Amino acid sequence: MSSLGTTGCCAYDPIDKISPIAKKYNLWHHVDAAYAGAAFACPELRIKGIELIDSFITNPHKWFLTNYDCSLLWTKDKLSLINSMIVNPVFLKNKASDLGCNDLKDWVIPLGRRFRALKLWFVIRTYGITGLQKHIREHVHLAENFEQLLLKDQRFIIVKRKLGLITFVLKNDPDQVLTQQLMNQLNSSGEYFLSSTSLKEYRFVIRMAIGSVNTRLEHIEKCCLRIFSITDQLLAKKSAL
């Protein structure tokens, strides 16, 4: 299995290099793109080699304007999947399945399932592909703006930015103690909520994930000003010690 858009920093595995190896050894190459998969609605955000994989999953509830929970699974070879899970006693046999319809009891372990497709159908009908692409592109643009605002302040390091996710730390902050205090103070207001992870040599990294349909540039700019203000206070307090 490969990942496109890991939780911590939205890292991508090299799909175009992994797929030929999987094919050579007759291995099923599944891709988990729970968050980043929504971005592939935009042609310019698709990656090389995605056409070579065997199956793909993404969660529309993460970045595709759909209420929790909803997952999409695509597979190139549905028969291999069905044959690995099919349960077909006499009392489950029916004419439609015999004629080859997609009987969802054969796609997952449970025999029954919720009708999650309906809410996604409403989202697609409401926004259309153009509206969904605009939503994704706007969030990528906002993330780029947030990154540029932080880079103008020499006190910050951008660890990584990918799609709508930016990770950053304060410079000259061993063990990222001040970075953690920065995030805690920012979140304590209740106006913003940033999360954290650990990446590379950094024990604590702040994550800014842009995903709400209501987020606008003014919110990004206001958040940055608040970050700068808290940083001023933390560094002044450190200097006074």
Work out the pLDDT band at 195, boundaries 50, 70, 90.
very high
Q: What is the pLDDT of residues 148-177, one digit of tens each?
A: 999 999 999 999 999 999 999 999 999 999
CB 63 within 8 A of CB 164: yes
CB 133 within 8 A of CB 41: yes
H or E element in which residue 197 lies: strand 195-199
Mean pLDDT value of segment 198-217: 93
Query: How many beta carbons lie within 10 A of that of residue 13, not counting itself?
Result: 17
pLDDT on residue 126: 96
- Residue bearing tokens 């549905």: 78
Structure tokens at 56: 């793909």
Domain with CATH 3.90.1150.10 in the chain: 130-240
- Which among 187, 178, 185 is positioned nearest to 155, based on CA atoms? 178
pLDDT on residue 98: 79
Q: At what angle do helices 217-240 and 177-188 cross, to 10 degrees?
A: 130
Mean pLDDT for all residues in the chain: 92
State which CATH number among 3.40.190.170, 3.90.1150.10, 3.30.160.110, 3.40.190.10 fits the domain covering 130-240. 3.90.1150.10
At the second CATH level, the architecture of 2-120 is 3-Layer(aba) Sandwich (3.40)
Domain with CATH 3.40.640.10 in the chain: 2-120
* Residues 233, 228: Cα–Cα separation, whole Å: 9
CB 220 within 8 A of CB 145: yes
Mean pLDDT value of segment 193-220: 94
Query: How many beta carbons lie within 10 A of that of residue 140, not counting itself?
Result: 19
Q: What is the pLDDT of residues 110-140, one digit of tens each?
A: 777 788 899 999 999 999 999 999 999 999 9
- Which among 77, 95, 78, 76 is positioned nearest to 86, based on CA atoms? 78
Question: Whole-prediction pTM value?
Answer: 0.88
Between 35 and 82, the more confident residue is 35
Does residue 233 carry a pLDDT above 90? yes
